[in-house]
Amino acid sequence: MDTALDLARWQFGITTVYHFLFVPMTISLAFLVAIMQTVWWRTGNEQWLRLTRLFGKLFLINFAMGIVTGIVQEFQFGMNWSSYSRFVGDIFGAPLAIEGLLAFFLESTFLGLWIFGWDRLKPGLHLMTIWIAAIGTALSAYFILAANSFMQNPVGYTMNAERGRAELTDFMAVLTNKVALITVPHTLFAAFMVGGGFVAAVAMWHLIRRPERDADAFRGAARLGAVTLLIAGIGVVITGDIQGKVMTEVQPMKMAAAEALYEDADECAPFSVFTIGTLDGSKPLWSLEVPCLLSQLATGSFDGEVRGINSLNAEYAETYADSGLTDFSPNIPVTYWSFRLMMGLGFAAMAASAWILWTLRKGRLPRQGARSTRWLLATAIVLPLLPLFANSFGWIFTEMGRQPWVVFGLMPTEAGVSPSVSAAQVWTSMIGFTLLYGALAVVEVKLLLRYIGKGLPDANPPRHDDDSDRPLAFAY
């Protein structure tokens, strides 16, 4: 791994996966904080105001880190992927411009009004600001995912052979891309699994470690988080099933790679739950399979045919003969295991949320000193990481499964790298970003643990003519 292409791919992967650690938390916490404040506004119960202020601080810390790491993504295109930027610039310009001018404007403007409007806006109007900011986060996700979906299933464009680039002809086709229409809800549901798990975990930690402090408030928060995770998990399963069928239609090689299916399965294709294979992933040695499940996931029928890697490779060699590629399959071990880790961690998070709801049923609290409670505490500590890493593995599968294309069927990944960037230059920037991101991770975790450990703040909304309640510039 010493070529500029390999290093550029590693750098983009590192920075993108790191940035996406903050994205689902930002989207979901914005809505969950808005729900908490709505409950307070409707009931007058100060416990929900205190929960709003606690999780509002945690949301703002995460939001700030997301902005810092997200800025780097814009530079990536020009630094290491200038040929790719030139090729898709006309397509990406519209959705990304709207994301910045509309969606991010809603987020930043109304979030600012929410932060500084506690003692300046009427309660109902102030509540509206956090809801608008939350909607802005969802809109940002939509426009960014619409751009990404073009890479998976190019639509609404024409090729300019003279300029050697794709040019936009139908903006609505890009926004209503069949891949985008299912990827957006799937991603949003997955984000709510992260936020729900985070809220439930923080609340359960306090219920178990500090049961004498604000037990009723944290019990309500734990139930809210667990219910959110469980409902969102069901949404992920339903949308993921639809997404699998769309993926099979537009990217059959990705589905074949997810299963490491080399030969066509004419009917009743089994789904491999767990496989031990050769190091190159080309031959299974032992496998635990569910009969006919892959056919159902891919086609909606237990008797559906699923294409294999070998036949697709032969077909693509003819269809894309001018691409310069000889192998059209992605890294099979990466796609196979990232697909299963995504699902396995997601189902584990759902099981943990169900356990929390069972523990807190009918007004109950965790039994202090019980062995099951100690296990519940350990589960709560890792709970936010389960859906968070499931999100990450899902995106690794999505992007790695598209290889060797950077835009499927139009541009090979190797053609998108900047022609003038050397391996030494990419090494330098990658090391710099990795060290910077490592430092930011330490700051993020310390800040989150600091405010989680403090517990619920006072019920009085902050007054911004007094800075004593604002130890951080971005924490209200």
Dump pLDDT digits (tens) for 457-476.
876 655 555 444 443 333 34
Which residues, at least 6 apart from 421, have a Cβ–Cβ distance to it below 8 Å?
Answer: 4, 8, 79, 80, 82
Residue by residue, DSSP assigns 335-364 as HHHHHHHHHHHHHHHHHHHHHHHHHTGGG-
The tokens of 127 are what?
Answer: 């509540």
pLDDT of residue 469: 42
The owner of tokens 């159902």 is: 296
Structure confidence at residue 226 as a pLDDT band (50, 70, 90): very high
Strands (E), 219-339: 271-277, 284-290
* Calpha distance 91→381 (Å, rounded): 42
Query: Identity (one letter) of the amino acid at 329?
Result: S
pLDDT tens for each residue of 254-273? 988 888 888 887 777 777 77
Residues linked to residue 284 through DSSP beta bridges, in sequence order: 277
More confident residue, 473 or 85: 85
More confident residue, 192 or 64: 192
> For the whole prediction, is pTM greater than 0.85?
yes
pLDDT tens for each residue of 125-156? 999 999 999 998 899 899 999 999 999 999 98
The owner of tokens 């690794």 is: 396
More confident residue, 279 or 242: 242
